[in-house]
Amino acid sequence: MLNLKKILLKIRYLEEEHKDCEDLCNKAKIEIEKFVRQTHSDLNVFDKDLDKDYSKKTSEALKNNNEREISKRIDNPQWTKKLFRKIAMITHPDKVPDNLDQSVKDKFLSMYQKSKILIDEGDYVGLIIIASDLNIDISSLEIKDSKIFKEKQSDLERSISELKKSIYWIWFHSSDDKRNEIIKEFIKQSGWTSKEAMRKKSRSGSGKHPGKSIGWARSKINIVNKKSD
């Protein structure tokens, strides 16, 4: 039982580190997207990903995601069902005493909702952690597959490593000069300096494009480059 406690402590630590990395990368992602969109607008160039309607794409993405969620449902081991019932007996809104503080009720509700998601996704280690937080005896759990702990730890470590290699992590830890280099490289890789990109955006017509000249777009690129020098 002591080993299980140590394993759970390690996984808790990794989950906290993973959350910190995700929060940092999400913050950097917002900054980058804002910077890219502003630069895209300033240069007045055409980009197929930034200049198209996302409504249909978003709808299709949600549909595909729902289909994946349905196909992902699995038959949970018996011990996980028993454990979920024990968690529900404490955290379900119908089981929570009315005289408890609202903040405690909200915490129980959050734990109940999270435990539902975890068992649906097959994240049994997360379910055990919630049970442990509720002081539910987990010593009697008939866990036949101990690999779930190693897999959970490995998944977290791999995800943390990927986050720390991402452009968002690099951006967050970069100086202003380095960030300007990243944006310049993005502009180059996106083909915004090509004649085709500037020609499409500079044409007059319906839509949000102001129809500036190609020469005007090129002068804007020079301004961006001078700022980053």
Instruction: Quick: pLDDT tens for 136-194.
Output: 988 777 776 678 889 999 999 999 999 999 999 999 999 999 988 888 888 888 877 77
Summarised one tens digit per residue, pLDDT across range 53-107 is: 544 554 555 555 555 454 455 678 888 999 999 999 999 999 999 999 999 999 9
Three-state DSSP state, 207: coil
The answer to the question of residue 229 being in a domain is yes
In a domain, 69, yes or no: no
Does 66 map to a domain? no
Domains contained in the chain, number: 2
Output the pLDDT for position 227.
55
Q: What is the pLDDT of residues 15-61, one digit of tens each?
A: 999 999 999 999 999 999 998 888 888 877 777 777 665 445 545 55
Where does a domain end: 144, 167, 199? Answer: 144
Largest CA distance in the chain: 74
The answer to whether 81 and 142 have CB atoms below 8 angstroms apart is no
- 110 and 163 fall within a common domain: no
* Per-residue pLDDT, 54: 44
User: Is 61 a domain residue?
Assistant: no
Nearest-angstrom CA–CA distance, 127 and 141? 12
Same domain, 137 and 87: yes
68 domain residue, yes or no: no
* CA pseudo-torsion sign 167, 58, 74, 5: positive
**67 in a structural domain:** no
Domain match, 138 and 177 both: no
Last residue of a domain, one of 144, 165, 200: 144
| Domain assignment of residue 83, given as a range | 78-144
User: Is the domain of 189 the same as that of 209?
Assistant: yes
